[in-house]
């Protein structure tokens, strides 16, 4: 039995074990409540496989993924890269671009950009805020003004894919990839081809990473826009929607295919 048939059989067995209708699975996955979760977690496995293939000849770096219970308050990483030379593990957070967030430019941002959705799925409660403040990571005031945001030291790298920035929700409330004419024109220049199938394939297979420190205002790359933030110029929290600038590719955000250079510094 080849790998595809084995995978299909596993899904069939899973449905039988849990009393689910296998034939309805495509519709279940496409449900508006389910699709974002499936695509988000699915992206973690896309990056895991991408990195394993990219680093297969690198004896110093190993990609790991641990299954965690998101209901627990224990810190968990989407992925890890273990560096044998230093015996250090680096945590990776996998986040897709915000749905339909591409812009050729606005009044305040006069450059092509999109937003990357980097925010907590669950806001911090009072007890967790007290616990974190006692660790000295941030003050209670800072944590209360960023209940749905991550401290930059929560993980080392953020990995994203830009294709979601060109998604829309259609009349059937389904998430679909559908750039408008203006966006296709931009993508043709960005990907250096007029072939829309090739552009779509390029978007699927090109991923980007940023050092989490560089996304927080403390890096001096931006200013916190939270009204109650006590330290907007030196804020240690990553914005919920950090900006991906297409005109500054390689500055904060870099193509994931160059990640070995990050570890060889």
Q: How far apart are CA 50 and CA 63, in angstroms?
A: 10
Would you list the domain boundaries of the chain?
A: 1-30, 32-263
> 44: which residues sit within 8 A by CB, 6+ positions away?
65, 78, 79, 94
Global pTM reads 0.92
Q: What is the pLDDT of residues 236-245, one digit of tens each?
A: 999 999 999 9
pLDDT above 90 (res 171): no
pLDDT, one tens digit per residue, over 45-87 is 999 999 999 999 999 999 999 876 554 445 578 999 999 999 9
- The confidence band for 135, taking pLDDT boundaries of 50, 70 and 90, is confident
Please report the DSSP string for 109-160 in residue order. --S-EEEB----SSPPPHHHHHHHHHTTSS-HHHHHTTTT--BGGG-SEEEE
Distance from C-alpha of 79 to C-alpha of 50, rounded to nearest angstrom: 12
């Amino acid at each position: 039995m080849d790998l595809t048939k084995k995978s299909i059989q596993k899904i069939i067995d899973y449905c039988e074990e849990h009393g689910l209708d296998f034939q309805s699975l495509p519709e279940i996955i496409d449900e508006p409540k389910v699709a974002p979760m499936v695509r988000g977690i699915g992206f973690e496995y896309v990056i895991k496989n991408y990195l394993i293939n990219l680093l297969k000849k690198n004896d110093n770096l190993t990609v790991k993924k641990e299954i965690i219970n998101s209901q627990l308050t224990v810190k968990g990483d989407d992925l890890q890269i273990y560096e044998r030379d230093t015996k250090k593990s680096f945590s990776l957070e996998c986040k897709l671009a915000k749905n339909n967030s591409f812009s050729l430019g606005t009044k305040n941002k006069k450059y092509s950009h999109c937003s990357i959705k980097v925010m907590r799925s669950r806001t911090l409660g009072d007890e967790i805020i007290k616990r974190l403040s006692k660790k000295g990571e941030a003050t209670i005031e800072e944590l209360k003004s960023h209940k749905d945001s991550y401290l930059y030291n929560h993980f080392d790298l953020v990995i994203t894919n830009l294709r979601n920035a060109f998604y829309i929700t259609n009349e059937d409330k389904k998430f679909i990839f559908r750039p408008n004419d203006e966006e296709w024109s931009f993508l043709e220049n960005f990907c250096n081809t007029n072939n829309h199938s090739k552009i779509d394939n390029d978007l699927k297979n090109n991923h980007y990473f940023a050092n989490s420190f560089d996304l927080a205002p403390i890096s001096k790359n931006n200013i916190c826009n939270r009204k109650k933030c006590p330290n907007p110029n030196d804020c240690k929290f990553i914005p919920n929607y950090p900006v991906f600038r297409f005109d500054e590719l390689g500055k904060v955000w870099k193509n994931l295919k160059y990640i070995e250079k990050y570890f060889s510094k």
